[in-house]
Chain A
Amino acid sequence: DSGVTQTPKHLITATGQRVTLRCSPRSGDLSVYWYQQSLDQGLQFLIHYYNGEERAKGNILERFSAQQFPDLHSELNLSSLELGDSALYFCASSVDTRPNQPQHFGDGTRLSIL
């Protein structure tokens, strides 16, 4: 158990819909990262938040947005969903922003678009 909690574990929805994925980092971790794992793109970094502030953006679509709340949990919002958004979405957390701090991953949310 990594200590990172992601909900829900599975999500099935239709094209055009909007969903919210939730992540609670390990106790004491201030950094939250979101990654997408898909068959065609592999594992890709989406976005990083540190103590409530956005720190870096990766290959995140404009239809996607995220935020980190004062209690440090984070949400990834996906809107106008397309078939290609079907993927496993991981949240990871680390103590801070130092690169020597390992990122600990949650179990992921499996998103299926019908």
Chain B
Amino acid sequence: AQTVTQSQPEMSVQEAETVTLSCTYDTSESDYYLFWYKQPPSRQMILVIRQEAYKQQNATENRFSVNFQKAAKSFSLKISDSQLGDAAMYFCAYRSLYGGATNKLIFGTGTLLAVQP
């Protein structure tokens, strides 16, 4: 079974600075999808960015980018020019391409990001 690990329960960053959130995963599959979701205090789950494992190029969405290291099974999220609105819980998630497992997202335990003014 696949697992997702976020080893940083909490992180803090100064406004306008850059922060990197870590995520590692375990799988025997060769193709899959990885996602970062943001959960602000309003508790919505907002999709931040996604990465297809078969793509070498790291995904980027405005100030958010990932560092995908397939061999190391690592999928970190970099937030540049941090803003107060980035303060939230961030979840890393895995989705299989195979069988019934494709139907679900497997989440890590989350990293709580604080942004200091």
Contacts and interface: CB of A to CB of B under 8 A. Distances in A.
A108 B91 CA distance: 16
Contacts of B44: 2, 105, 107-108
A99 B97 contact: yes
Question: By DSSP majority rule, is chain A's interface helix, strand, loop, or mixed?
Answer: strand
Contacts, number: 58
Given A2-B44, A55-B103, A99 B33 contact: yes
Interface in A5-54: 33, 35, 42-45, 48
A43 B103 contact: no
Interface in A29-87: 33, 35, 42-45, 48, 55-56, 58
Interface string B34-49: 0101000011111100
Interface of A: 2, 33, 35, 42-45, 48, 55-56, 58, 88, 90, 92, 97, 99-100, 102-105, 107-108, 110
18 contacts: A2-B46, A35-B105, A43-B91, A43-B110, A45-B103, A45-B104, A55-B100, A56-B103, A56-B104, A99-B97, A99-B102, A100-B33, A102-B47, A104-B47, A105-B44, A105-B46, A108-B44, A110-B43
